[in-house]
Amino acid sequence: MQGFRRCSNDVVHLDLTTSGSGATTMTNSSSSLSIDVEESTETRIQRLISEHPVIIFSRSSCCMCHVMKKLLATIGVHPTVIELDDHEIAEALRNRPPAVFIGGASIGGLESLVALHLSGHLVPKLVEVGALWV
Q: In order of start, what are the domains of the chain with their CATH numbers?
A: 4-128 (3.40.30.10)
30 or 17, which is more confident: 17
Please say whether the beta carbons of 45 and 16 come within 8 A: yes
Cα–Cα distances in angstroms (integers) from residue 73 to residues 2, 36, 99, 115, in the given order = 29, 29, 16, 17
pLDDT(31) > 70: no
Q: Is the pTM of this model over 0.75?
A: no
Task: Quickly count helices (H) and strands (E) in the chain.
Answer: 5, 8
Residue closest to 122 by CA, chosen among 49, 108, 65: 108
pLDDT of residue 74: 94
Radius of gyration of the chain (CA): 14
Mean pLDDT of 65-84: 92
Does position 40 have pLDDT exceeding 80, yes or no?
Answer: no
